[in-house]
């Protein structure tokens, strides 16, 4: 699998940080179920998470800022 390019991912969000956090969270949840598998590799989970983000299967949710959060 070839992961999507950064240019393609930046169309989803203007924040590279938001993309990294979303992909990391999804890769972690994918890896939780696969750790007992013999062929488990974190890099393949990250690639799968990147593909899911690019295909729109997962979304990046932003929290609304309130005066207490600033």
Q: For residue 21, is it within any domain?
A: yes
Report yes or no: 24 and 43 within 8 Å, Cβ to Cβ. Answer: no
For residue 15, what are the contacts with CB-CB under 8 A and spacing of at least 6? none
Q: For residue 41, is it within any domain?
A: yes
Over residues 17-70, the pLDDT tens digits come to 999 999 999 998 888 877 777 667 777 888 899 999 999 999 888 877 777 655
Q: For residue 34, is it within any domain?
A: yes
The pLDDT assigned to 26 comes to 92
Q: Where in the sequence is the domain holding 13, given as residue range(s)?
A: 6-55
| CA distances (Å), origin 32, targets 8, 13, 37, 64, 65 | 27, 26, 10, 29, 31
The number of domains in the chain is 1
Q: For residue 13, is it within any domain?
A: yes
């Amino acid at each position: 699998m070839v992961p999507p390019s950064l240019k393609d991912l930046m169309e989803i969000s203007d924040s590279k940080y938001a993309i990294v956090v979303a992909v990391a969270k999804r890769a972690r949840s994918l890896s939780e179920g696969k750790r007992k598998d013999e062929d488990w590799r974190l890099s393949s989970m990250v690639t799968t998470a990147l593909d899911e983000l690019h295909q729109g299967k997962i979304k990046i949710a932003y929290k609304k800022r309130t005066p207490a959060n600033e």
